[in-house]
Amino acid sequence: MPRPIFAHIDLNALRHNLAVARTHAKGRALWAVVKANAYGHGLERVMTALAQADGLALLDFDEARRARDAGWRKPILLLEGFFSIPDLTLVDALGLTAVVHHTDQVRWLLEWAKSAVPTGGVNLYLKVNTGMNRLGLNPEELPATIEQLSATGKVRVVALMTHFANADSADHHELDEPLRQFNTAVAAYWRGKTSLANSASLLMHPQVGGDSVRPGIMLYGASPMQGQTAASFGLKPVMRLYSELIAVRAVKAGQAVGYGGRWVAPRDTRIGVVACGYADGYPRIAADGTPVWVQGHCAALAGRVSMDMITVDLAGAPQAQVGSRVELWGEHVPIDAVAQSAGTVGYELMCALAPRVPISAVG
């Protein structure tokens, strides 16, 4: 028998979450963000469930080629654009839309356009820095950039975009200044399409407009907002991580469990050992009390996470025994709850699922 840990990807849940995003998009075009191998869910695995998206948004050429090889014929947006002049030949060959976010990319485009014969012309999104101060052209760089690129006759600026630093704040005023900057730049320099909203903006900030939206984490059933659950937005978990109890032992009050003796039994109790550890992607720094679903009941992490095992207090699951099913996150234990216990976000847990964990798609 294989080690009893596995993950299910619920494609029906993904379809449901896409429909939720569609509802919030209110007719705007929708880029489904599938970077980082679809947030750890598997790019090829999720593509059929995202068939109703208007395009895919991702980061690197390998994933773009994989999407094309798997049959995706709709647009693909390269969120970090290209990294050298030769990349532009691949952008053209694969029919990709590239984000341009710094002046070196503009220079590369101009140089490439001098000798290139594009198969259909390269579409570009220009990214505007509105306070993230990570990627993006400054607003005053836009007029010269648009003029230079348009003059080549070989590339097309099809939209302006931005990315907000504080979209995950519930305070709508956090977006006042970046929106002002973006809208001012658009009014002065642009009459075309725009793209602004990620998952948090889409769910929480209806004042953010634009012609297209870029939902990511919400598609996979996690919340982009601290303090608000995915379920409160009508989202369903897509990744479900399961294992089993491989041992159960009695521990007396006062006895310690696990490395460093971090957890000490407050009473006589039963401890279950689960075949899942940080080498499987479970967060090593998860705190005692992190919820674990065992045999239909809520148990609690008890002791430090080790490489291949966790230990749980079975006081809340009195019928549990060796072989009992355990859900680490999914339907009964939101991935955001585990992430919060580890001081991180659901994104990280999804992306950190280890290659040694078998994955299957259902639905």
Where are any strands of DSSP class E within 81-192? Answer: 97-100, 122-127, 155-161
Cα dihedral value 210, 214, 219, 220, nearest 10: -150
Confidence of residue 227 (pLDDT cuts 50, 70, 90): confident
- Which residue numbers are catalytic? 35, 259
Confidence (pLDDT) at 320 = 97
| 11 phi and psi angles, rounded to 5 deg | -70, -30
Please name the residues in contact with 323: beta carbons below 8 A apart, sequence gap of 6 or more: 244, 245
Confidence (pLDDT) at 189 = 93
Architecture label for domain 239-362: Beta Barrel (2.40)
> Is the pLDDT score of 156 beyond 80?
yes
Averaged confidence pLDDT in the chain: 96
Confidence (pLDDT) at 11 = 98
* pLDDT tens digit sequence for 176-222: 999 999 999 999 999 999 999 999 999 999 889 899 999 999 999 99
Gap between the Cα atoms of 225 and 117, Å rounded: 45
* pLDDT tens digit sequence for 243-277: 999 999 999 999 999 999 999 999 999 999 999 99
HEC profile of 107-119: HHHHHHHHHCCCC
Gap between the Cα atoms of 135 and 102, Å rounded: 7
Average pLDDT over residues 29-46: 98
Gap between the Cα atoms of 93 and 90, Å rounded: 5
| Alpha-helical segments (H) within 139-277 | 142-151, 176-189, 199-204
Residue ranges covered by each domain of the chain? 11-222, 239-362
H or E element: which one contains 193? strand 193-197
CB distance 81 to 101 below 8 Å: yes
Confidence (pLDDT) at 360 = 96
Among 19-33, 91-105, 166-180, the least confident range: 166-180
- Locate 242 and state its tokens: 């399961």
Average pLDDT over residues 61-81: 98
Confidence of residue 119 (pLDDT cuts 50, 70, 90): confident
> Is the pLDDT score of 43 beyond 80?
yes
Gap between the Cα atoms of 140 and 188, Å rounded: 10
State the pairing for strand pair 291-294/297-301. antiparallel
* pLDDT tens digit sequence for 52-63: 999 999 999 999
Confidence of residue 168 (pLDDT cuts 50, 70, 90): confident
Confidence (pLDDT) at 295 = 93
Gap between the Cα atoms of 27 and 173, Å rounded: 25
CB distance 362 to 8 below 8 Å: yes
Please name the residues in contact with 340: beta carbons below 8 A apart, sequence gap of 6 or more: none
Using CA atoms, how far residue 350 sits from 199, 239, 283, 287, in Å, is 16, 8, 11, 18
Say which CATH class 11-222 falls into. Answer: alpha beta
